[in-house]
Amino acid sequence: MQVTRLPRRPAPEARADRPRWRLATLIEIGLTGGIGSGKSTVAAMLADRGAVVLDSDSLVRELQVPGTAVFEAIVAQWGERVVADDGTLNRGELASIVFDDPAELELLNAIVHPAHAIEMERRRSVYEGTDTVLVFDIPLLVEVGRGGFDGVVVVDLDPETAIQRLAADRGLDEADARRRMANQASRAERLDRADFVLDNGGTKADLAAEVDRCWEWIGSLGEG
Ligand code: ADP
């Protein structure tokens, strides 16, 4: 008996004319690190590689410009002493009020956090359903227990090196840097929360190589 073999058809995925449908993948990354760890430097390097960075601290500053509801509520709470000569918020004064006083800090957080959460969510939602890597740059991510990310990236640096860099580059007083660090999560607490650790103990070129490695890892999160 003669067997007629049908010509083999190429596998569907190999057919060039076949449209390839797949859902867009929004990847949400939390980025954090202690003061002076190099978090802002990493955020800029990730932006260079195509990420959209949402910066938590600069959003707080935007929410506190004169005329906003947050600014008015802060002035209503602490009076003219938190207003600088040019009419903007006197950040140093506000920081000194809340720094060592949990009750005052709670009052400030009650004013800022709801507005911050709403605006952050509004900015996030713009990218819903798109192929975007969104990086949430949040210095106090571990401290506030923020979750809901596809991955948490921690920039790791030993605190003494961080203090040296802050003093050399930003002219930050060493005692001031130590005080701020004491108010933040410890290095170990941060590492405990990390899905990916970026070591910033080397040069900036070394850091760029670490960021390349991280960018690849972030890409792999969207393949699942
Ligand atoms: P953070 O945002 O975590 O406070 P920054 O990114 O501002 O930290 O970095 C703190 C300082 O250290 C900056 O002046 C930055 O240019 C510098 N810096 C960051 N990474 C390195 C590095 N690998 N080598 C030398 N200096 C660095």
Q: Is the pLDDT of residue 219 over 90?
A: yes
Atom 8 in ligand 1: which residue has the minimum CA distance? 38
**pLDDT > 70: percent of the chain:** 90
Average pLDDT, the chain: 91
Give the number of other Cβ atoms within 10 Å of residue 25's Cβ: 16
Mean pLDDT, residues 76-91 taken together: 96
| DSSP conformation class of 17 | T
Tracing tokens 């949400």 back to the chain, one arrives at 28
What confidence tier does 4 reach under pLDDT thresholds 50, 70, 90? Answer: low
Of 165, 172, 180, best ligand 1 pocket probe by most atoms within 8 Å of the beta carbon? 165
pLDDT, tens digit (0-9, with 9 covering 90-100), for 165-210:
999 998 888 998 898 898 899 999 999 999 999 999 999 999 999 9
Q: What is the pLDDT of residue 110?
A: 96
Q: Is the pLDDT of residue 77 over 70?
A: yes
Distance 47 CA to ligand 1 centre (A): 16
Mean pLDDT, residues 141-153 taken together: 92
Q: Of all atoms in ligand 1, which is nearest to the CA of residue 33?
A: 3
Distance 92 CA to ligand 1 centre (A): 22
Distance 136 CA to ligand 1 centre (A): 18
Mean pLDDT, residues 73-102 taken together: 94
Structure tokens that stand for 190 in this block: 């941060």
Of 45, 137, 169, 176, best ligand 1 pocket probe by most atoms within 8 Å of the beta carbon? 169
Closest CA to 90 of 114, 116, 66: 66
pLDDT, tens digit (0-9, with 9 covering 90-100), for 96-105:
999 889 999 9
Q: What is the pLDDT of residue 18?
A: 62
Atom 10 in ligand 1: which residue has the minimum CA distance? 36
Structure tokens that stand for 19 in this block: 């449209």
pLDDT, tens digit (0-9, with 9 covering 90-100), for 24-74:
899 999 999 999 999 999 999 999 999 999 999 999 999 999 999 999 999
CA of residue 22 relative to chain centroid, distance:
28
Higher-pLDDT residue of 33, 19: 33
Q: Is the pLDDT of residue 1 over 60?
A: no
Ligand 1 pocket by Cβ (under 6 Å) = 33, 35-41, 165-166, 169-170, 200, 202-204, 207
Is the whole-model pTM more than 0.85?
A: yes
Q: Is the pLDDT of residue 10 over 60?
A: no
Distance 7 CA to ligand 1 centre (A): 62
Q: What is the pLDDT of residue 183?
A: 86
Q: What is the pLDDT of residue 37?
A: 97
Q: Of all atoms in ligand 1, which is nearest to the CA of residue 39?
A: 3
Classify 194 as helix, strand or coil. coil
Rg (CA), the chain: 23
d(CA 71, CA 108): 11
Distance 1 CA to ligand 1 centre (A): 78
